[in-house]
Structure 1
Amino acid sequence: MARLPAGALMQRAAAGLAAACADALPRVYGSRVTLLTGSGDNGADTLYAGARLARRGASVTAVLLAPDRTHPEALKTLLRAGGTTATATDAAPLLQHADLVLDGIVGIGGKGGLRPEATHLAGLLAASPATVVAVDLPSGIEPDTGEVHGTAVRADLTITFGTHKPGLLIDPARAYAGSVRLIDIGLAATLPHTPALESLQHADIAALLPRPTGESDKYRRGVVGIAAGSTRYPGAAVLAVAGALRGGAGAVRYVGAATDAVLARFPETLISHTGPKKAGRVQAWVAGPGAADDPAPVAEALATDVPVLLDADGLRLADRDTVRTRKAPTLLTPHAGEAAALLGISREEVEAARLTAVRELARRYDATVLLKGSTTLIAAPDPDTPVRVNATGTPWLATAGSGDVLSGLAGSLLAAGLSPLDAASAAAYLHGLAGRYAADGAPTSAHDVAEAIPRAWRDITT
């Protein structure tokens, strides 16, 4: 702001916001637009955008939550363009009859939930048939963490400026944002080189995925060991092997009680009848899916000098001090319930503060942590490393065995030489994309997700 003329960034934001609103309306001329306007810069952005819409023939009314602290120049601009104002007590009929509502109540400075008057407006807005556009982020969400304390505005579309805010990427707040559109207002050169969060895209994942060369053989490509399954849960072993076989490693070595089931489905699997300690050459272990109450395979895997992925029962059976003191890296892949048990808190607390939970797990275990769920987060043990947010996936992935496929896939990428952070990120991305393809708008199964991984891989790399 110091480098540019006064108000330049605000005008850029308002121009992008007005254009996005025009796109969201069937037509601008004659449409009814209501602005929910707070006292901060977000309120000013909203007023300037409303003025642009008013000049194009829209009927624009600004509901002023703090009339004595409203941005004076922005308000003058709206009034000169033909806009009008109202107080919060007049908002109900305006919201009920609006075609579009702009939420400019609070911005990135808003913390700790909405104040009572704003809470009342958010409640009225929830019953409005209008299209709701949030300015920068929905009012009431925590911009830095994705937490939601009390009532928040639920938007159909969020127009955010300069860069994505963590709250737009992490649930539960992400669910309030609707579709998110980024408007470039020229902040790129001033943003920190190390962001709080990263969200990888196709090109990023394509650069990570292993590719065989003319000199490759199954051992050079990596061998992943799967210590999973039991007489009670043989399917977990089969699904973990399914994910591993499609993850880029050259071979999969299985140890456990589900040998017959694994060989019946995947005869190419290498079988060892001893535990991980004497199983033979591997570059990474996946331990825990379907292990039931047998701690020996998990302990043996952790005693090796190769990367280990712990999932499901392995998270419960592993000793935290053993994980912390390992020389080789460890990757934990809990869902919210498992994370809650590891942290000694409730599942609801994890789901309400996912970013805090994944960072705390990574710190306590000195391990990389992939926290599964509506938003998949991956945190490295180094607190200065950005947490990664997975952008793919579908609610249909909430199905039995889906996590076993993900574990095998991530373990295979570990064996192929990726770091735990990159292996977890690439696996979550592939798994989410495969889930979309497998579901295609209908219920799916973990087996179908595994079958769709090659399609997702080709989509990313071609």
Structure 2
Amino acid sequence: MRHAHTVTQVRDAEAPLLASLPPGALMQRAVHGLLSHAARRLGRIYGARVVVLVGSGDNGGDGLWAGARLAARGARVDALAPGRTHPAGTAALLAAGGRLHVVPDRDTGDPGQPDQGQHPFRTPVSGPRTGHDTAARLLAGADLVLDGMLGIGGKGGLRPGYARLAMLAPAERTVAVDVPSGVDADTGAVAGMAVRAGSTVTFGTYKRGLLIAPGAGHAGYVELVDIGLALPAADLTALEDVDVSGLLPVPGPADSKYTRGVLGLVAGSDTYPGAAVLATGGALRGIAGYLRVASTQVAADHVRRAHPEAVVTQVDPGDAAAVLAAGRVQAWAVGPGLPPDATTARVVASLLATDVSVLLDAGALGAVASDLRCVAALRDRVAPSLLTPHEGEFSRLTAALGWDVEATARALAADRLAVVRRAAAELGATVLLKGNRTLIVDPDGRARVNITGTPWLATAGSGDVLTGLCGSLLAGGLSPMDAGSVGAHLHGTAGARAGRPLAASDLPALLLRRGQL
């Protein structure tokens, strides 16, 4: 499992080490990991062309020290500095034969202003001034670029000089030091230009901004280097394959289809029958042993033809009594293909009044957002609830709580995790906010982020498959947090293995099982 911490937690963990170790020792641990990663990326160091983008902080020092060691092994190393630099790292680079270039800010012409979030006491960089055309040429010709302009303390947008270098850095050949410059290490927010890296070497622990969108999209592959930090419980986690394998139960000799769990799925309509078919496909690849599907005539006929394993009950729109009469279940999943209207609200209200887990998606979420009685029933229920909105559904749902829609959109861009935490707490439900790097958050604030997937999953019907799968995991005994995070992980893995472009109907057959992870 990946564990991510806040900047404050990292600083607090670094403090005792900085006090007890010789000066510079902690930095050298980081440099060793960065150097090893750079050497693997380069393959051959002698004669390689390396460019280091440096700022005044310790991340710039890491880059300069790594550059010095690469220069000592025969690489040509050029450091580009739009501002102040780390003195010891600068001296080491120059002593090893590296070159330091001052790249003045085109707007101010002054490379000596302190960097945002860095150390204002650093001395101004001295060295030959290099025009932006020369900087662009060096970056274009580099075999590897180390980005150490800003570190985990950087906030807000990059200054113009830094932003221009970030724009020029070739993403596929750039290694970010700890966090890409311009990415908020705590939130993943990106205000304007930020470095896009092919890989990131981060120290001590994962930073939240490396796992949460949009920062995760700038980080590339992330390698964690242990530098000996003693950290508290993680603020955010991410499941890996081995964790998912451990959470998926395996039937025993005494199990039957009933003991494995029964899912009730309310999905599809005469307008959207395919949603029921896709959700059923996802549910059948989960861990529940029995699936009851309640749907309208057209959708019910489609499900029977596509999935003979499902037990299908035909119901009229809004007939909550008929849905409940379909049979006893351990969990309900409701919403794919349903209209977000009063008929759906009646069904949702009845299911929320039960004592089993309930998953709400799509039309069910829309019905809740338009019916304050459903909102109250959701907030008051004792049994577990899992909500799986995309961003538009999330905005409409939180608007029913009195949130301003435009303010919510701005808040999501600034601190996505904090907003979902607030929503989960106010709704009294686990919220799975779909999107690039899906977030799953419990009402108590415990949070996970999904690190599998592909942008090709942004296709109609993909979410219906996820609903069926997560519902099956709920019925099989997983908590909403585990069902949501395991389901998102398997769904993302299936998407990554699908053809290009993928269709939602490709996904059920590609959903992974324990032995295949």
1:364/1:47 CA distance change after superposition, 3 Å = same
- Equivalent residue number for residue 33 of structure 1: 50
Q: Deviations over 1:382-424 (max 9, x none)?
A: 02x2x11112112221121111111011111111111100111
Q: Deviations over 1:403-455 (max 9, x none)?
A: 1111011111111111100111111111111222233xx122222101112x4
Cα displacement (A) at 1:359: 1.6
User: Counterpart of 2:228 in 1: which secondary structure?
Assistant: coil
The answer for unaligned runs of 5 or more in structure 2 is 1-16, 105-129, 316-320, 369-373, 400-404
CA distance, structure 1, for counterparts of residue 461 and residue 260 of structure 2 = 26
Match of 2:28 among 11, 14, 18: 11
1:380 Cα deviation from its structure 2 partner: 0.6
Partner of 2:108: none
Is the partner of 2:195 in helix, strand or coil?
A: coil
Query: Distance between the aligned counterparts of 2:449 and 2:131, measured in 1?
Result: 37
Paired with 2:38 and 2:54, the residues of 1 have a C-alpha distance of 16
Question: 1:388 aligns to what SS in structure 2?
Answer: strand
Alignment of 1:26-425 (within 5 A): 27-67=44-84, 70-89=85-104, 90=130, 92=132, 93-98=134-139, 99=142, 100-125=144-169, 131-187=173-229, 190-192=230-232, 194-257=233-296, 258-272=299-313, 273=315, 274-292=321-339, 293=341, 294-295=343-344, 296-318=346-368, 319-344=374-399, 345-346=405-406, 349=410, 350=412, 353-383=415-445, 385=446, 387-425=447-485
CA distance in 2, matches of 1:372, 1:48: 41
| CA positional deviation for 1:154 | 1.4
Contact residue 371 and residue 377 of structure 1 kept, 8 A: yes
**Residue matched to 1:445:** 503
SS class of match (2:20): coil
Q: Tell me the CA shift for residue 168 of structure 1.
A: 0.9
Contact 2:45 2:74 in 1 (8 A): yes
> What is the aligned counterpart of 1:24 among 41, 47, 56?
41
Counterpart contact for 1:221–1:248, Cα < 8 Å: yes
Distance 2:282 2:335 in 1: 15
- In structure 2, relative to structure 1, the CA distance for the partners of 1:26 and 1:250 (3 Å cut) is closer
Letter in 2 for 1:74: G
- AA aligned to 2:149 is I
Q: Is the 8 A contact 1:369 1:379 kept in 2?
A: yes
2:264 & 2:26 partners in 1: Cα distance?
A: 54
- Displacement, 1:46? 1.0
Instruction: Write the distance in 2 (CA, Å) between the matches of 1:429 and 1:280.
Output: 30
Tell me if the contact between 2:171 and 2:195 (Cα under 8 Å) persists in the aligned partners: no
8 Å CA contact retained: 1:144, 1:167:
yes
| Cα deviations by residue, 1:34-90 (Å, 9 ceiling, x for unpaired) | 2221111111111111110110112222223334xx322222222211122221131
Equivalent pair of 1:230/1:291 in contact (CA under 8 Å): yes
Q: Relative to 1, partners in 2 of residues 1:130 and 1:32: Cα closer, same or farther, differing over 3 Å?
A: farther
Contact 1:34 1:94 (C-alpha < 8 Å) held by counterparts: no
**Of 137-146 and 33-42, the range deviating more from structure 2:** 33-42
Bigger shift: residues 11-20 or 343-352: 343-352
Q: Distance in 2 between matches of 1:14 and 1:81?
A: 15
Q: Displacement, 1:456?
A: 4.5
Cα pair distance change 1:245/1:29, threshold 3 Å: same
The separation in 2 between residues aligned to 1:354 and 1:443, in whole angstroms, is 28
CA contact (8 A) 1:249 1:415 kept: yes
Q: Which moves more between the two structures, 236-245 or 349-358?
A: 349-358
Aligned to 2:495: 435
Q: Shift of residue 221 of structure 1?
A: 1.0
Distance 1:216 1:130 in 2: 50
Give identity over the alignment, percent: 52
Q: Does 1:459 align with 2:506?
A: no
Instruction: Give unpaired runs (5+ residues) of structure 1.
Output: none
Q: In structure 2, how many angstroms separate the alpha carbons of the residues matched to 1:74 and 1:352? A: 33
Counterparts in 2 of 1:204 and 1:297: CA distance versus 1, 3 Å: same
Task: Give a deviation string over 1:351-377, Cα, whole Å, max 9, x none.
Answer: 664323322221221110111111111
Q: Is the CA contact 2:357–2:383 (under 8 Å) kept in the aligned structure 1?
A: yes
- Which SS does the other structure have where 1:275 is aligned? helix
Residue 209 of structure 1 aligns to which amino acid in structure 2? Answer: L
TM-score normalised over the length of structure 2 = 0.83
Q: Is the 8 A contact 2:286 2:470 kept in 1?
A: yes
After TM superposition, the structure 1 stretch with the greater mean CA deviation from structure 2, 254-263 or 337-346, is 337-346
Q: Which amino acid aligns with 1:298?
A: V
Report the CA distance between 1:220 and its aligned residue: 1.0
Whole-angstrom CA distance in 2 between matches of 1:429 and 1:130? 26
Tell me which amino acid in the other structure corresponds to 2:38: C
Shift of 1:26: 5.0
> What is the TM-score of this pair, normalised by structure 1?
0.92
3-state secondary structure, aligned to 1:43? helix
Shift, 1:19, TM fit: 2.2
- AA aligned to 1:247 is G
Is the Cα contact below 8 Å between 1:35 and 1:47 reproduced in 2?
yes
The offset of 1:275, in angstroms, is: 3.1
Aligned residues of 2:172 and 2:197 also touching (Cα < 8 A): no
Contact residue 146 and residue 355 of structure 1 kept, 8 A = no
Deviating beyond 6 angstroms after TM superposition, the runs of 4 or more aligned structure 1 residues are none
